[in-house]
Chain A
Amino acid sequence: MEQLLQQIINGISLGSIYALIALGYTMVYGIIKLINFAHSDVYMLGAYIGYFCMTKLNLGFLPSLVIAMILCTIVGVTIEKVAYKPLRNSTRIAVLITAIGVSLFIEYVTMAIAGANVRSYPPMTGLMAESFNIGSINITMQQLITLGITILLMVLLQFIVKKTRIGKAMRAVSLDQDAAMLMGINVNSTISFTFALGSALAGAAGIMVGVYYNSINPLMGMLPGLKAFVAAVFGGIGIIPGAMIGGYFIGIIEVLVSGYGNSMYRDGVVFAILILVLIIKPTGLLGKNIREKV
């Protein structure tokens, strides 16, 4: 029982990261029906920016987090303006291929600049290095902080999407771009804003992974990116609460497979879930069947 609880705690901290990345996938998909493969590389850049802030500028965790989020926002919006906006009226496959191209571009430029080596974050001190036990269950402050920041960011995101003007615009554009434009909504700036939000969350996930696991490399985004994508599909792609639930679900499943089954099947199980979801309920857990009107 205690082992199960401990495993679930492990799973929740892993799931927080997937959920943060999945949110970016799902928002972008919701608004322009594009699977933004470059998203996982924005997450990687977040980790590298955090590394740079902490080792070269000697900043603390929170200022580094804020800087990483801001810079990732700029990167995300730049990607959208340079790579996707000129293709707004092209076929979806053209944009998808471009997304893969951008992803490879970011990975290998980072490799050329920062080197292919694994880098490690500086050791955490003070509060960040603490851990405590409840019974025989061990919880580290880093796990709590990761979870706390994730929940805070998700609440903030829900508030922006549901309660603000720009959030209303986002929802309108995702429902029907042309109609939104006719209503006087600036579609381009709304799409940019969506990319900005998603990239900021990915940047936050990147730096938290760096601090939590202490190891970053230019290709670190690939596998978490794919799993976050599975999480987004599981929850229903395009639906924000779905991405959160999907992220936590995938994180916990992964840990339980390693913990009670065989750790070698961990990734296999995650992708088997993707296949099952696509066969049984392609719209995902929270997805609704929308009938095409003729």
Chain B
Amino acid sequence: MKRIISIFLVLVLTLTLFAGCGSKANENEIRIGINYELSGDVASYGQASVEGIELAIEEVNKAGGINGKLIKPIKYDNKSDHSTATTLATKLMTQDKVVAVLGPATSGAFKATIPEAIKNKVPVASGSATDDSVTVDENGVKEYAFRICFTDSFQGTAMANYALKNMSATKAAVLMDSSSDYGKGLAKNFTDTFEAGGGKVVASEAFVAGDTDFNAILTKIKGNDFDVIFISGYYNEAGLIIKQARAQGINTPILGPDGFGAPELVELAGADALNDVYFSSHFSVLDKDPSVSGFIESFKAKYGKEPDQFAALGYDLAMFVIDGIKRAGSTDPVAIKDALAATKDFVGVTGSFSMDENHNPVKAVVVVGIENGVHATSERVEQ
């Protein structure tokens, strides 16, 4: 009896295996894989990105597709799990025969899919993997991996230039989250650029994620004379630092990275304390650029809400890959990879960019200013 059951089970399993191979490539469509976090821990990143991607594909298909061929997105949920992301990337490349894979959203999950991309010679591209080592490591550039967002540590450089040029600051205090690569990379790049540009970092203090009492280090730096404070950290600690700094009467402008771009910052710092705070961002709905307002309108029409930075990056990511396919003039993934690497002056809603030799975009940073807890101003800062 046991034997019969096991034979039956084997048969069922084999059949499902064949069933999975049923989808055949259609000559008149171009398949693009979407491998995003639609559920799990970072579902909000993935969902917003996919909304942007689907809007872009819809617009391109409405306009006649790529050289007469329509784009067919094949969407999977990697459940915010790295190994699922890898499995899905393999599935998209080998079974669904996509020409390129978009996503995942986070650096860790995206990195996990890159070996598959290299093995199967299919490009992968992410809109929001900002970790420095995503596209390049000690072995050189990863040929099949692309991103369209600036890197974590680049923001340090951008904010230092903003402080020097736009705020005419000459002296800065740096508060660094020493428990993350993000915080350390940012603080180093800010300090290097600021000092190379003629500024001076007069005080530099460190904290670790999870700290709640910053009064001691704030009292310590208060004795120095400085024009701006740069906080290299995420909103959890930055919110508390801003609150405690303002309570101590430190009223200089405060600069930070995209880690400030969460609504929790306002809750932690309190709207009264959040004045004269500027952070680098990928996108702002306040941006007056005409391409941005058009995107915001069509996004609102489709989804009934304002796009966030992940949606904008998702939109640009899809447009970037579609642009690459057009220029490649074929659906061969290797040709598309070469076209993506050669991207020049691509115009997107998160800024125009060209790809550098490390597959990182050279693009402007949007600096968002907060007044009374509300995003009040936005400014594009070119490199």
Contact = CB atoms under 8 A, between A and B. Distances in A.
Contacts of B356: none
Contact of B219 (A3, A120, A213, A220): A3
A258 B205 CA distance: 9
A115 B205 CA distance: 31
A128 B208 CA distance: 28
A258 B207 CA distance: 10
Contact of A264 (B178, B248, B264): B178
Contacts of B157: none
B316 to A, nearest CB: 29
Interface residues of B, number: 28
Interface string A130-163: 0101000010100000000000000000000000
B190 to A, nearest CB: 18
A259 B213 contact: no
Interface stretch (B163-171, B235-243, B364-372, B375-383): B235-243
Given A10-B215, A263-B205, A264-B206, A120 B220 contact: no
B268 A120 contact: yes
A213 B216 contact: no
Given A120-B239, A215-B268, A259 B217 contact: yes
A255 interface: yes
B290 interface: no
B223 interface: yes
Contacts of A131: 247
Given A123-B270, A123-B272, A263 B223 contact: no
B212 interface: yes
Contacts of A140: 247
B232 to A, nearest CB: 14
Contact of A213 (B212, B248, B267): B212
Contacts of A111: none
**A contacts with B: majority SS:** helix
Interface string B148-178: 0000000000000000000000000000001
A110 interface: no
Given A3-B223, A138-B248, A215-B212, A258 B217 contact: yes
A41 interface: no
Given A118-B236, A123-B272, A258 B216 contact: yes
B270 A7 contact: no
Contacts of B178: 264
Contacts of B249: 133, 138
Interface string A248-271: 000000111011101110100000
Interface string A98-124: 000000000000000000001010010
B187 to A, nearest CB: 13
Given A10-B216, A259-B216, 9 more contacts: A6-B219, A13-B215, A120-B267, A133-B249, A138-B247, A213-B213, A214-B243, A258-B216, A259-B219
19 contacts: A7-B216, A7-B219, A10-B216, A11-B216, A118-B264, A131-B247, A138-B247, A138-B249, A209-B212, A213-B240, A214-B268, A215-B212, A215-B268, A220-B212, A223-B210, A258-B220, A259-B219, A260-B220, A263-B206
